[in-house]
Structure 1
């Protein structure tokens, strides 16, 4: 009479076969430990029926003055033009866009100061190294921040000091995260 219990670990011909149960269990455990990718929220538009929110930005001592002023002035102009609003989160941002932007900047530096074919001068090599070092300390910043309705597009990117970019982005998020999506936003500088 045939046995209906679990089969052994040997297949025909005496070769061992894997213990599928343990493999599947390990795969399930690994998948559970992986961070889950959040799907982007559907984009929204400015809802002028909602009350306007004033976003107060402070220039911290740790910010580089020039980069901060450029970023703030760009946001202020967008604010004055009535274009800023709270976008739905999580944002639909493609990291390949910023990666490609940084690569184009790097390639442009090398093409100008350290061209192929051994035509680079010592001064050109020194300038290329200086600019590449500066590039390592910058982010590809969205001038019109996507969390304020800006596009995730290369035409909206500029290099900005990494600390200033990330800290300002967090400062903005902390103030707007609980607002209804589409809330109109006005920006002002506070001392």
Structure 2
């Protein structure tokens, strides 16, 4: 029974919530008239439709999708390489995660301090904010299971890697949105430097 549930969870995760569609004249016009537009190398924008799929947190999806939609309307989304550690002019594998790590540690300290002297309660309080689910081999397979400090303005769309761009959100939902956005852009061959418009659909 557990195996069947895991299979259903994987199927739900693999269901795409993001896809690249053709930009309309209205989309392009709105982008060109936006104030404070992102540098875009003169390229026309692409439109990515975001749709909440089964199993996603409605609250997190609505907050993240609407924030991205607004940023796109303001001309502030453009496909970027995710910031990584820089060494001698070359990109290396991992970016510096100290900012999100510090935010996570601060949250864990906050929730555990409310249960001084009760190690079991402290363990239960901090588990949703750890980097992975210790009870499920690190897998995040459903909404409500874990929480992440999420970049509101996605790093892959030019967002800043700082505390002001972080908000605690449902891990499953925000990770799926980020992964689906990347897959949609990869599959459509969207180049770095291409402006992006997000369209939320029901």
TM-score by length of 1: 0.63
Deviation at 1:90, TM superposition (A): 5.1
Return 5+ residue gaps in structure 2 as ranges. Answer: 1-37, 85-94, 131-145
- Equivalent position to 1:145, from 136, 151, 154: 154
Q: For 1:90 and 1:74, how far apart are their aligned partners in 2?
A: 19
What is the rounded CA distance, in whole Å, between the counterparts of 1:130 and 1:59 in structure 2?
A: 29
Moved over 3 A (4+): 128-131
Residue 65 (structure 1) aligns with: 58
Pairing 1:189–2:200 present: yes
**How far, CA to CA, are the matches of 1:131 and 1:76 in structure 2?**
33
Number of the residue aligned with 1:79:
72
Q: How far has the Cα of 1:139 moved from its partner?
A: 1.7
**Structure 2 CA distance for partners of 1:90 and 1:144, relative to 1, 3 Å:** closer
Q: Is the 8 A contact 1:50 1:183 kept in 2?
A: yes
**Distance between the aligned counterparts of 2:39 and 2:192, measured in 1?**
8
The one of 155, 159, 168 equivalent to 1:159 is 168
Task: Say whether residues 1:134 and 2:137 are aligned partners.
Answer: no
Cα pair 1:86 1:180 within 8 Å, conserved: yes
Question: In structure 1, the residue corresponding to 2:98 is in which secondary structure?
Answer: helix
- Superposed, which structure 2 residues align to 1:31-180 within 5 Å? 46-47=39-40, 49-87=42-80, 89=81, 91-92=83-84, 93-111=95-113, 113-114=114-115, 131-136=125-130, 137-177=146-186, 178-180=189-191
Q: Post-superposition shift, 1:109?
A: 2.1
Gaps in structure 1 of 5+ consecutive residues: 1-44
Aligned equivalents of 1:159, 1:130: Cα separation in 2 = 18
Post-superposition shift, 1:132?
2.6
2-structure distance, mates of 1:90, 1:134: 25
